[in-house]
Homo-oligomer: A and B are copies of this chain.
Amino acid sequence: MTGWVKIVGLGPGAENLVTPQVADALAQATDVIGYIPYVARVSARPGLTLHPSDNRVELDRAAHALTLAADGQRVVVVSSGDPGVFAMASAVFEALEDGPAEWRELKIDVLPGITAMLAAAARAGAPLGHDFCAINLSDNLKPWALIEKRLRLAVEGDFAMAFYNPRSKSRPDGFVRTLEVLNEACGDARPIIFARAVSTPDENIRVVALPDARPEMADMRTVVIVGASNTRVIDGADGPIVYTPRSVLS
């Protein structure tokens, strides 16, 4: 078998945040598979077939990639950000585990990318500069009770927190509840960052105190970061800088 699959991260949006390793993989590919807006970031060229697909068909997409590779194609599966963070890598391995034995012989690589929370953190300062958690707020694939449990434990452990998929049109209520839980559990005015479409022309970074956060500040293009209890906000030349110190005194 000469086909392969590379599951790659395109980073948050800007071309200069795509690693050379990922650019090389795209240059070698015969097929690119992924969600429509991510495939749209790949330049067309002779010999390359683009296979954009809709949201929520991750397993079909993964099986398609593995089938093409088993046929000898060089397949790149694209995610935004990092492919291993709430993205396509797990879906491909789920499909691999449930698929035909011949797929197990395929060369499959995961190529990391700049994930949204780290791009967002960089634009805000260094809010994730100490221990932190990453939580997907979508309850499409897990029960809300588990999300709430993790939120409360993350606050109890005084982790900074990064939230992916905070709010969509089909799930307007979860983020309302998230803010209620956070305000109740944190009980302070620590900073919360709404980072939308980081590194794209639509980028918008907003820093507010947790009690002032409103659900409509987030949408599906937003990563939300909540500080730990000792996270600080200072004035910088370009606006507020949010950072979590490296040290926690005993």
CB-contacts of A7-40 with B (<8 A): 11, 14-21, 24
Residue of B nearest to A244 (CB): B90
On whether the beta carbons of B141 and A91 are closer than 8 Å, the reply is no
Task: Tell whether, in the assembled complex, residue B153 and residue A85 are in contact, meaning their CB atoms are under 8 Å apart.
Answer: no
- CB pairs A–B below 8 angstroms (24 shown): A14-B21, A16-B20, A17-B19, A18-B20, A19-B19, A82-B122, A84-B121, A87-B129, A89-B122, A89-B129, A93-B129, A104-B234, A107-B237, A108-B238, A110-B121, A114-B114, A128-B134, A132-B134, A141-B246, A141-B248, A143-B248, A150-B158, A153-B154, A153-B157
A216 interface residue, CB < 8 Å from B?
Answer: no
Residues of B within 8 A of A122 (CB): 82-84, 89, 109-112
A112 with B118: CB separation less than 8 A = yes
Q: Is the CB of A110 within 8 A of B125?
A: yes
Copies of this chain, tallied across the complex: 2
B241/A96 in contact, CB under 8 A: yes
